[in-house]
Structure 1
Amino acid sequence: MEHIRNFCIIAHIDHGKSTLADRLLDMTNAISEREKMDQVLDNMDLERERGITIKSHAVQMYYKFEGKEYTLNLIDTPGHVDFSYEVSRAIAACEGALLIVDASQGIQAQTISNLYLALEHDLEIIPVLNKIDLPSANPEEVSDQIIDLIGCKREDIIPASGKTGQGVDKILEAIVKRIPAPKGDPNAPLQALIFDSVYNPYRGIEAYFKVVNGTIRKGQRVKFMATDKVYNADEIGILQLKQYPKDEISAGDVGYIVSGIKDAREVKVGDTITSADNPADAPIEGFEEVKPMVFAGVYPVEIDQYEELRSSLEKLRLNDASLTFEPESSAALGFGFRCGFLGMLHMEIVQERLDREFNMDVITTVPNVSYIAYMKKDPTVPVKVNNPADFPDPVKLDRIEEPYIKAQIISKSEYVGSIMKLCIDKRGILKNQVYLTSDRVELTFEMPLAEIVFDFYDRLKSISRGYASFDYYPIGYRESDLVKVDILINGDPVDALSALVHRSNAYDIGRKMCEKLKELIPRQQFVIAIQAAIGSKIIARETISALRKDVTAKCYGGDITRKRKLLEKQKEGKKRMKQIGSVEIPQKAFLAVLKLND
């Protein structure tokens, strides 16, 4: 155990974590010439296309230092705020962290929040100044920011470049010297913390774990403490770029287990594996429970694919523990699932993965957050409202509360005015404004989560030309004046398009929704009325006029009554058609709400 080091990499999105991880793998010869490629740990097509890390990946390296060989377990982490749960899991399995800061961009919001997460777990922090080879790099100023943030000495900061490989040997030395060896007793009863799992169609579920105490051996009977199920460890091993089977793995090390588990619900991330014959007294206290922030309905396009969608979501949840879902039904869309996501990017990624990995075509409804309602008959009992369809009758409602967040925005000072305007438009309250340097400012706002769910992040990036970075965490529920806006098509409410909004925005949103739907719903043979309503009060209306066949084309000359007779006949037919005709609403219309400001 003296020669094991477990560490993770934490940084803001696009600060060069994956490229630096490539250089670490090169330096320790963990990767052959043939396997070499950029961002080798980002093995999902989606990650490569978007240039972001979505999953944390574990990989083992060997490094010789002062005549001794050390085993280094690296867990690469994502940088985007939507995947902070992945980061918390990686941090729980490590003793140290590389804090990577881009020398040209400086400290960003996500760097700070991930750093606090690491400090809560008492991790040893090694600050690394990356991308120092860039012409726009400003190492002196960014070093001062790092010293202010974590209170280290200037000589503790390692200048490096993931592109050229400069400083990578110093990083490896620092990992061996500064990060403590894992603490644990190889002879105690087995306790191993599951920090990730993947589904393999041939071998069942593979769980990735870190052994905290004891030793796990091949063929041993093991018990998963959360479900109380007992299995045989058919294969255990370590994770390099491929899996390497071993006969035993001891305390402090990271590995994988294959035990023929077929049911996705039997493996829970954060669970403890122990020996069935000599079990540990208690499970390991791991990372925090996941709290979904954004809810949306996910429905199969074909009704008979419901069960297939369920099994796809279960397999996806193995690989992405922050996804939650429960069954629900909608009058417009049939049977589907109410899914909880950590944010809009997370929702987009899940949708994309369902399509690519499981070949599932799905319709996603308008995302919303969860509210707490209190009824007049019993104002002390809270009722959770995850879906606008569950919104109680306003007559019986005493009050409703919505979730608030504390948002930290770090930006160049020239964009402060436009950022403040955006946040105040979104019902934000400015709490603090701190100048980190002469031209970088940190703004702290308290604002409703519902306001940042749709397009806040995109608009923040566009008004700050991509400079502003954004991070948030929940601060509880507060009372709010919310109303339910229903969309009626020819008098029938479409529950998938309902939205809970603040009363001050209701008229504006109702009008924009009607205008947007008028563009997106194709014309029919009869008139279509699109209305927005609060309760029984109509607040906006648009009309799609009917497609008309020219029935009078064959009448040339003669009495006007001949034409009138044909037009009356057509009018009767249209009236009958309207009674039995139904309006097809395209998938684009369900997501139209997200693009109301375009």
Structure 2
Amino acid sequence: MKNIRNFCIIAHIDHGKSTLADRLLEFTKTVSDRDMQAQLLDNMDLERERGITIKSHAIQMDYQYKGEKYTLNLIDTPGHVDFSYEVSRSIAACEGALLLVDAAQGTEAQTISNLYLAMGYDLVIIPVLNKIDLPGAMVEEVKDEMVDLLGCSREEIIPASGKAGIGIEDILNAIVERIPPPQGDPKAALQALIFDSVFNSFRGIEVIFRVKNGSIRKGDKVKFMATGREYEADEIGTLRLQKEPKEVIECGDVGYLISGIKVAKEVKVGDTITHTQRSAAAPIQGFSEVKPMVFAGIYPVDTSEFEELREAMEKLQLNDAALVWEPETSAALGFGFRCGFLGMLHMEIVQERLEREFDMTVITTVPSVQFEVITTRGEHLKVSAPSEMPEPTYIDWIEEPFINAQIITKSEYIGGIMSLCMDKRGTLKNQVYLTAERVEIQFSMPLAEVVFDFFDKLKTISRGYASLDYELAGYQESDMVKLDIMLNGERVDALSAIVHRTKAYDWGKKLCEKLRELLPRQMFEIAIQAAIGQKIIARETVKAMRKDVLAKCYGGDISRKRKLLEKQKKGKKRMRQVGNVEIPQEAFMAVLKIN
């Protein structure tokens, strides 16, 4: 055990975590030159295309230091705030963390938030100043920032460059010297924490775990404590570039377990594995419960594919523990699921993965957050979809979730960012100059305003320099209303939204205009209306296609023409009563595009 080191790499987006991981794997000869490629651990096509890490990836390396062989378990983590749950799970499986800071960008919001996460688990932090070879690197200024943030000495900061391979040996030496070996009792009853799992269509579910106490052998009978299910360890091993089967995984090490589990529900990330005969007294206290921030409906385009979508969601949830879902129905879209995501990027990635990995084409409804409705009877209702909202006459008041947003930016962009936050109903809490150039602004804002396009607009205003981090601050009373869209007097629940009263008129008007462009013309007139309760606040009309019934009349009496027009009018009226309006897929997506 004394020669095992478990560590993860944490940083803000694009500060070079995956590139540094590549260099560490190369230096320790874990990967041959033939197998080497950039961002080696990012094995999803999506991750490579977008250049972001979505999943944390564990891999084991061997390193010789002062004549002794050390086993290093590295976990590369994502940097985006939407995947912070991945980071928290990786941190729970480690004793130390490399905190990377980009020498050209300095410390950013996610750097600070990930650092506090790691400190919450008492990890040893090794500060690394990355990208020192860039022409725009501000080495001394950023070192000052890191000293202020961590309270470390300047000598402890390791200058490095993942791209050029500078300082890699210093980092590996620091990991061995500074990070403590895992604590645990090899002779105690087995306790192993599941921190990830993957679905393999040939072998069932592969569970990735970290042994805290005891050890596990191939062929052992094991029990998962949360579900109470028992299995046999058919294969165990360590995670190299490929899986490497082993006979035993000792205390403190990280490994995988395959035992032919077929049902996705039987594996919960954060669960504890123990032996059936000699069970541990209590499970390991794992990670915090995931708190979804954004809720949206996901529906199969073809309603007959509902069961396949359910299976796909279960398999995806194994690999992405931050995804929360439950079944729901909609009058317009049929059967589907109400899903909770950590943010808009997370929602987009889930939709992409369903399409790529499981071949499911899905419709996503308008994202919303969870509101709390207090009824006139004094009941407290949790409402995460507009369809669950009671009638306005039964509502006493509505509370919406607020967040504390922390934005770090260059001082020249303050004006634009302030007006953006004010526009999103934010109130300024605090403003601190970190250096002459960099400012930290703290706002209290409604979460509903942030989930749509706040992040994109923030990046646009600040030319990509501002960084955002937020945490939930509780619920506050707000004047929220349910905005319904009606086609010929019929409500379309998939287009409804819960919005603030001040924005409802604007929103309703834009939505009606957008739908008028997108709905195909029929033989009858279509009235598109936006309503709050019984009150209509906006209306657009899709004109009917007309057949010229007067074509055969040339000259002659007006009463003949009038008779034909009256007949046509009656026909249109009857048609409108029986005709139904088909809503194209683009119309559901249009709601997401309204700015």
Query: What is the alpha-carbon distance in structure 1 between the residues aligned to residue 554 and residue 246 of structure 2?
Result: 91
2:384 to 383, 386, 392: 386
Question: How far 1:553 sits from its partner (Å)?
Answer: 4.1
Query: What is the alpha-carbon distance in structure 2 between the residues aligned to residue 301 and residue 561 of structure 1?
Result: 50
CA root-mean-square deviation:
1.2
Q: Deviations over 1:496-531 (max 9, x none)?
A: 111111111111111111112112222222111111
What amino acid is aligned across from residue 279 of structure 1 in structure 2? S
Q: What is the DSSP-based 3-state SS (H/G/I as helix, E as strand, rest coil) of the residue aligned with 1:578?
A: helix
Q: What is the DSSP-based 3-state SS (H/G/I as helix, E as strand, rest coil) of the residue aligned with 1:417?
A: helix
Q: Deviations over 1:264-318 (max 9, x none)?
A: 0000000000000100000001110101111111111111111111010000000
Which residue in the other structure is 2:252 paired with?
Answer: 252
Q: Deviations over 1:2-45 (max 9, x none)?
A: 11000000011111111111000000001112211110000000
Matched, 1:523 2:540: no
Query: What is the alpha-carbon distance in structure 1 between the residues aligned to residue 496 and residue 586 of structure 2?
Result: 15
Question: How far 1:430 sits from its partner (Å)?
Answer: 0.4
Aligned positions of 1:369-384 closer than 5 A: 369-377=369-377, 379=378, 381-384=379-382
Query: What is the alpha-carbon distance in structure 2 between the residues aligned to residue 392 and residue 579 of structure 1?
Result: 28
Query: What is the alpha-carbon distance in structure 2 between the residues aligned to residue 541 and residue 76 of structure 1?
Result: 52
Which residue in the other structure is 2:11 paired with?
Answer: 11
Question: How far 1:575 sits from its partner (Å)?
Answer: 1.9
Q: What is the DSSP-based 3-state SS (H/G/I as helix, E as strand, rest coil) of the residue aligned with 2:99?
A: strand
Query: What is the alpha-carbon distance in structure 2 between the residues aligned to residue 588 and residue 335 of structure 1?
Result: 19
Query: What is the alpha-carbon distance in structure 1 between the residues aligned to residue 231 and residue 208 of structure 2?
Result: 15
Question: How far 1:591 sits from its partner (Å)?
Answer: 2.5
What amino acid is aligned across from residue 392 of structure 1 in structure 2? P
1:591 to 585, 589, 592: 589
Question: How far 1:560 sits from its partner (Å)?
Answer: 4.9
Query: What is the alpha-carbon distance in structure 2 between the residues aligned to residue 591 and residue 108 of structure 1?
Result: 33
Q: Deviations over 1:163-207 (max 9, x none)?
A: 110111111111111111000111110000000001111111000
Single out whichever of 546-555 and 472-481 deviates more from structure 2. 546-555
Matched, 1:437 2:435: yes
Q: Deviations over 1:355-391 (max 9, x none)?
A: 00110011111010111112222x2x42111111111
Q: What is the DSSP-based 3-state SS (H/G/I as helix, E as strand, rest coil) of the residue aligned with 2:296?
A: strand
Which residue in the other structure is 2:535 paired with?
Answer: 537
Normalising by structure 1, report the TM-score.
Answer: 0.98
Query: What is the alpha-carbon distance in structure 2 between the residues aligned to residue 554 and residue 6 of structure 1?
Result: 87
Alpha-carbon contact 1:64-1:70 (below 8 Å) kept? yes
Query: What is the alpha-carbon distance in structure 1 between the residues aligned to residue 71 and residue 36 of structure 2?
Result: 21
Question: How far 1:594 sits from its partner (Å)?
Answer: 2.2
Query: What is the alpha-carbon distance in structure 1 between the residues aligned to residue 223 and residue 185 of structure 2?
Result: 19
Q: Deviations over 1:427-451 (max 9, x none)?
A: 1110000111111100000111001
Matched, 1:469 2:479: no
Query: What is the alpha-carbon distance in structure 2 between the residues aligned to residue 148 and residue 192 of structure 1?
Result: 37
Query: What is the alpha-carbon distance in structure 1 between the residues aligned to residue 180 and residue 567 of structure 2?
Result: 88
Query: What is the alpha-carbon distance in structure 2 between the residues aligned to residue 75 and residue 413 of structure 1?
Result: 35
Question: How far 1:549 sits from its partner (Å)?
Answer: 3.2
Which residue in the other structure is 1:571 paired with?
Answer: 569
Which residue in the other structure is 2:235 paired with?
Answer: 235
Query: What is the alpha-carbon distance in structure 1 between the residues aligned to residue 125 and residue 550 of structure 2?
Result: 82
Q: What is the DSSP-based 3-state SS (H/G/I as helix, E as strand, rest coil) of the residue aligned with 1:584?
A: coil
Q: What is the DSSP-based 3-state SS (H/G/I as helix, E as strand, rest coil) of the residue aligned with 1:251?
A: coil
Which residue in the other structure is 1:400 paired with?
Answer: 398
Question: How far 1:562 sits from its partner (Å)?
Answer: 5.2
Normalising by structure 2, report the TM-score.
Answer: 0.98
Alpha-carbon contact 1:189-1:278 (below 8 Å) kept? yes
Query: What is the alpha-carbon distance in structure 2 between the residues aligned to residue 109 and residue 147 of structure 1?
Result: 16
Which residue in the other structure is 2:25 paired with?
Answer: 25
Question: How far 1:578 sits from its partner (Å)?
Answer: 1.2
Aligned positions of 1:130-149 closer than 5 A: 130-149=130-149
Which residue in the other structure is 2:162 paired with?
Answer: 162
Which residue in the other structure is 2:364 paired with?
Answer: 364
Which residue in the other structure is 1:118 paired with?
Answer: 118
Q: What is the DSSP-based 3-state SS (H/G/I as helix, E as strand, rest coil) of the residue aligned with 2:399?
A: strand
Query: What is the alpha-carbon distance in structure 2 between the residues aligned to residue 369 and residue 303 of structure 1?
Result: 26
Matched, 1:580 2:581: no
Question: How far 1:114 sits from its partner (Å)?
Answer: 0.5
What amino acid is aligned across from residue 30 of structure 1 in structure 2? T
Query: What is the alpha-carbon distance in structure 2 between the residues aligned to residue 7 and residue 342 of structure 1?
Result: 25
Query: What is the alpha-carbon distance in structure 1 between the residues aligned to residue 436 and residue 519 of structure 2?
Result: 51
Which residue in the other structure is 2:94 paired with?
Answer: 94
Alpha-carbon contact 1:455-1:594 (below 8 Å) kept? no
Same amino acid, percent of matched pairs:
70
Question: How far 1:559 sits from its partner (Å)?
Answer: 5.0
Question: How far 1:584 sits from its partner (Å)?
Answer: 1.4
Which residue in the other structure is 2:407 paired with?
Answer: 409
Question: How far 1:563 sits from its partner (Å)?
Answer: 4.6
